[in-house]
Structure 1
Amino acid sequence: MTDPTPPHPDRRAEIAAGLARVRARITDACAAAGRDRAEVTMIAVTKTYPAGDVLALAGLGVVDVGENRDQEASGKAAEVAAAGARPRWHFIGQLQRNKCRSVVRYADVVHSVDSARLADALGAAAERERDRPLETLVQVSIDGDPARGGALPDSTDPDRGLHRVAEAVAGAASLRLAGLMAVAPLGWEPERAFARLAEVAEAFRTVHPRATALSAGMSGDLEIAIGYGATHVRVGSALLGMRPTLR
């Protein structure tokens, strides 16, 4: 394996400028919501961007990095590690059971568990591959549409019901239930989506009081998400610029 190519100075300056803008937005959103800035973690979503960009972010003090596809993330994480950087990797994309063993080898946090069967598979993989529990968030469906990803609030479905999924995560010694993740549904205004998510999260914490993480909000709507209690915002294009075309 070769070390990743360091970013050109112009690219590093571009990333630094994007980072400054996003950090300012988060600071302003926290102030507007009356929240402590330390309550909100920015995850730099680096899917399709090269490992060199991850190294530039690490050099600028970014700790948390998010990826969506194991096929890309596993190799990128290895490249970044070979170059001496150790960011905290968040797997935030749709996760298939047959990818669990690979993902648990590099991910520090998984945001996208949405079924009891997936929780069981992830727990089994983490048991084999890790020496410490894997931070795990349950992806929740805001609109309750079973055709989309996300565990279903107010459902008793044995595989997809939100509390059944949470119980499967909490019951695995190799996983730690950290909280919830959601994506605003297509066609929903962010205000409506995150207001609904806040209701779900409040009810969820009455059952799982230590699962306080709430991963919500992206480049276009992070301020609204923070206003409704997001503790983690997932930022890609606002930070790194126009996304390269997927191969």
Structure 2
Amino acid sequence: MSIAQNISEIKSKIDINKVKLVAVTKNHSVPAMVEAIAAGITAVGENRVQEMMAKHPEIQAAGKLVEWHLIGHLQTNKVRQAVPLADLIHSVDSEHLAVEIDKTAGKCNKRQDILLQVNVADEDSKFGVELGQALPLAKQISQLAHIRLCGLMTIAPYADDPETLRPVFRELHTLFGELKALNLANTDIKWLSMGMTNDYQVAVEEGANLVRIGTGIFGSRKY
């Protein structure tokens, strides 16, 4: 199927009025991105700052308006490049990183929207704050004037049967409710980013309102 057909198929399985679809464009070409945007994609997600920097001016030159989400791990030495371009950073997992983002955002006269990445399944291979440390970290981050905490993100373990991931998504949804109830300063808790190509339908059923889909839109990555 074409990119447009893939997008239509995904939209038929979720309530697009309630769930934001982010097209994950890592290692996919600018023409493919333009095709996706023409088919209704309003947000793209990049894993690497360098790739975002390379593609951003090309998409702008093509006359396409789209949100840019940084969904991959962000190193502190890349913050200066990321903040001017990213509408939403999904992968904040430490106070140190948040402080660097706050400093850079201040210099850019910007309030940077972020999500806390939570390692719900406690996988050694994945980044993210531990489940029990997420709310204390949120309280620390809420004291930073140039950051707006907008919710939570997780990357679930890969599973042949996505049904087995329901407890992971459910735990983050519970934490999302607890975070929202704190009513912290400098926050607008509205995004629960969980679910990818293999498991997005289960994630949405468990409360996700932002899903990150690459392969399901563009096909396999071309490395």
State if a TM-score over 0.5 links the two structures: yes
Matched, 1:87 2:62: no
Structure 1's 21 and 115: CA in aligned 2 closer, same or farther, altered over 3 A?
same
1:196 counterpart (144, 156, 171): 171
Over aligned residues, Cα RMSD in angstroms?
1.9
Following superposition, which runs of at least 4 residues in structure 1 exceed 6 angstroms of deviation? none
2:101/2:112 contact within 8 Å kept:
no
2:153 counterpart (156, 181, 196): 181
Matched, 1:207 2:182: yes
The one-letter code sitting in structure 2 at the alignment partner of 1:183 is: I
Matched, 1:61 2:40: yes
Matched, 1:103 2:78: no
Match of residue 221 from structure 2: 243
Distance 2:106 2:139 in 1: 17
Distance 1:142 1:81 in 2: 36
**Structure 1 segment 45-56 matched on structure 2, within 5 A:** 45-56=24-35
Distance 2:29 2:125 in 1: 33
Distance 1:207 1:98 in 2: 31
1:68/1:93 contact within 8 Å kept:
yes
Q: Which range moved further: 99-108 or 201-210?
A: 201-210
Match of residue 44 from structure 1: 23
Q: Secondary structure at the match of 1:196?
A: helix
Query: Percent same amino acid among aligned pairs?
Result: 32
Distance 2:215 2:115 in 1: 23
1:151 counterpart (122, 129, 137): 129
Q: CA deviation at 1:213?
A: 1.0
In the alignment, structure 1 segments of 5+ residues that lack a partner are 1-12, 28-36, 155-160
Match of residue 205 from structure 2: 227
Structure 1's 50 and 105: CA in aligned 2 closer, same or farther, altered over 3 A?
same
Matched, 1:17 2:5: yes
Structure 1's 194 and 73: CA in aligned 2 closer, same or farther, altered over 3 A?
same
Structure 1's 147 and 224: CA in aligned 2 closer, same or farther, altered over 3 A?
closer
Q: Secondary structure at the match of 2:115?
A: strand
Q: Secondary structure at the match of 2:192?
A: strand
Distance 2:119 2:189 in 1: 17
After superposition, the C-alpha distances for 1:193-231 in whole angstroms (9 at most, x for unaligned) are: 112222222222222474131000001111111111101
Q: Which range moved further: 163-172 or 83-92?
A: 163-172
| TM superposition score normalised by structure 1 | 0.82
Q: CA deviation at 1:143?
A: 2.4
1:146/1:152 contact within 8 Å kept:
no
Distance 2:114 2:180 in 1: 15
Match of residue 138 from structure 2: 166
Distance 1:114 1:147 in 2: 14
Distance 2:147 2:124 in 1: 25
The one-letter code sitting in structure 1 at the alignment partner of 2:4 is: A
Structure 1's 103 and 142: CA in aligned 2 closer, same or farther, altered over 3 A?
same
After superposition, the C-alpha distances for 1:133-171 in whole angstroms (9 at most, x for unaligned) are: 1111000110245774111222xxxxxx31232123322
In the alignment, structure 2 segments of 5+ residues that lack a partner are none
1:169/1:175 contact within 8 Å kept:
yes
| Bigger Rg, which one | 1
Match of residue 119 from structure 2: 141
